[in-house]
Amino acid sequence: MDLPRVPAGVERGLPEPEEIRVPADVKSKLRAIGARGLAVIYFDDLYGPVMRYFYADEGSEFVKSLLSNPAVAVELSIVSKHAKELRTASGATILIEQVRGDMDRFGRHKTHLVLLELRGKHRVFPRELLAYLATRLSQMGLDRRSIVRALIEKVREKRRFYA
């Protein structure tokens, strides 16, 4: 009896999320605006939406939940079609920005996500930061180096943070 063939790529398994490390001055400014975590959800051809990169400060419940339960990435992908912001049960606010990616095998653009976990009332700069990240990542590509470079560019350009 012939068994169905395993599609190419299945043997590679679910991609492991990679931690993003940022310089101390960038980390300090992210804390100043209430940013506790950042997640990049990549649309994988085989697995669908998966968290690919993350930055987590102390107390980032959101990133912890994404790391412990990969299905949360799928739920966020669905939510992102209808919302740009959500509030978690723990009281954190999650800002969502879509990143237009490369084409899939059917000729459609993949939609990746950049999410920022916030505590506090800051909204203006975090929203600007997220929009900038999405734009730069759609231009430079979705890899750790591009994410760190875009974060550094935007955070260091801003002289003063405001609510």
Give the residue extent of every domain in the chain. Answer: 17-157
- The pLDDT tens digits for 66-119 are 999 989 999 999 999 999 999 988 888 999 999 988 777 777 788 999 999 998
Tell whether the torsion through CA atoms of 99, 102, 104 and 107 is positive or negative. Answer: positive
Contacts of 8 (CB under 8 A, 6+ apart): none
**pTM listed for this prediction:** 0.84
Q: What percentage of the chain carries pLDDT values higher than 90?
A: 52
Hey, what are 48's tokens? 């669908």
CA distances from 114 to 108, 109, 153 (A): 19, 16, 16
Q: 17-157 belongs to which CATH class?
A: alpha beta
Task: Report the 10 Å Cβ neighbour count for 2.
Answer: 4
Higher pLDDT, 12 or 19: 19
pLDDT at 114: 96
Q: What six digits make up the tokens of 43?
A: 């649309």
Number of residues that this document lists for the chain: 163
